[in-house]
Amino acid sequence: MTPPRPRGRPRAFADKTDQNRVQSIDRAMLLLQRLADSPGMTLSELAAAGGESAATVYRVLVTLQAHGIAELEDPGQVWHVGGGAFRIGSAFLRRTKVVERARQPMDRLMRDTGETANLGIESGDQVLFLSQVETHAAIRAFFPPGTKSPMHVSGIGKALLAWYPADRVAGLVARQGLPGFTPQTITDAAALAADLAATRARGFAIDDQERAQGMRCVAAPIFNAHAEPVAGLSVSAPAFRLPLADTDRIGARVQAAADEVTAATGGHRP
């Protein structure tokens, strides 16, 4: 019999307080997040944004640069996220075969609808976009991998919430709230519950300009072997190219593509 692998957890592994966090790693991760959220920043800008000395920030940047996680663009002395960060981040995608199995259905979905297809999961009470197949249209939706969105204003988010247990939805709403982004945003818990019930009844969710004015999205969930929603597929488009009258037609195609991924990954619809 193969002996069990040591877990390598300290006795206080459940303690998530600041005393168990490494300050230098915290600083590096916050710095990396600032770089990820910007088109590039100078040393002075990074130091000012973090309220730290330029010398301290420079040491962190040079350390990240040594591992390929940060890069310096000489013209202008602007720092960017490096290719090493992408290689590390790609390890997350290897944890699931959903990304791989969804690629062909997403490509077909984009060609069938003429609009951008997206794949996302929940991460930290938000939708995390993992993959996208872009339309060739000049005006299009764009959610690069790693982009996050609140659940209640995302087609994929609402597609997942619709099949979550009620207590899980209530917990997420309590933690994140229902902030408004446009006049169409659902900001009332009862209204959200009604929208999720309608989503379950028709099999797909609709984001009707709830995150961004002028953009519409139709999404359906992907289920695992326990019939639990674990990911979602969506089609996003400018509202003038995706009128509400077309959502049933597009929704049927999105749901069929999501069901294909569900089956390909050994899952089944509840």
Q: What's the confidence (pLDDT) of residue 136?
A: 82
Q: Specify whether 161 is located in the same domain as 256.
A: yes
pLDDT 10s digits, 42-96: 999 999 998 889 999 999 999 999 998 999 988 778 999 888 887 777 666 655 6
pLDDT 10s digits, 111-128: 999 999 999 999 989 999
Q: Specify whether 79 is located in the same domain as 115.
A: no
Q: Specify whether 209 is located in the same domain as 105.
A: yes
Q: Specify whether 182 is located in the same domain as 103.
A: yes
Q: What's the confidence (pLDDT) of residue 13?
A: 46
Task: Identify the residue with better confidence: 38 or 179.
Answer: 179
Confirm if 256 and 236 have CB atoms less than 8 A apart: no
What domain range is 59 assigned to?
18-88
Inform me whether the pLDDT recorded for 107 exceeds 60: yes
Q: Is residue 128 part of a domain?
A: yes
Q: Is residue 181 part of a domain?
A: yes
pTM of the model as a whole: 0.70
C-alpha 200/C-alpha 198 separation (Å) is 5
Nearest to 121 by CA among 258, 268, 232: 232
Confidence of residue 4 (pLDDT cuts 50, 70, 90): low
Q: Is residue 269 part of a domain?
A: no
235 Cβ contact list (under 8 Å, min separation 6): 109, 110, 113, 115, 116, 117, 118, 217, 218, 219, 242, 250, 253, 254
Q: Is residue 270 part of a domain?
A: no
In the chain, the number of structural domains is: 2
Q: Specify whether 54 is located in the same domain as 165.
A: no
Q: Specify whether 132 is located in the same domain as 61.
A: no
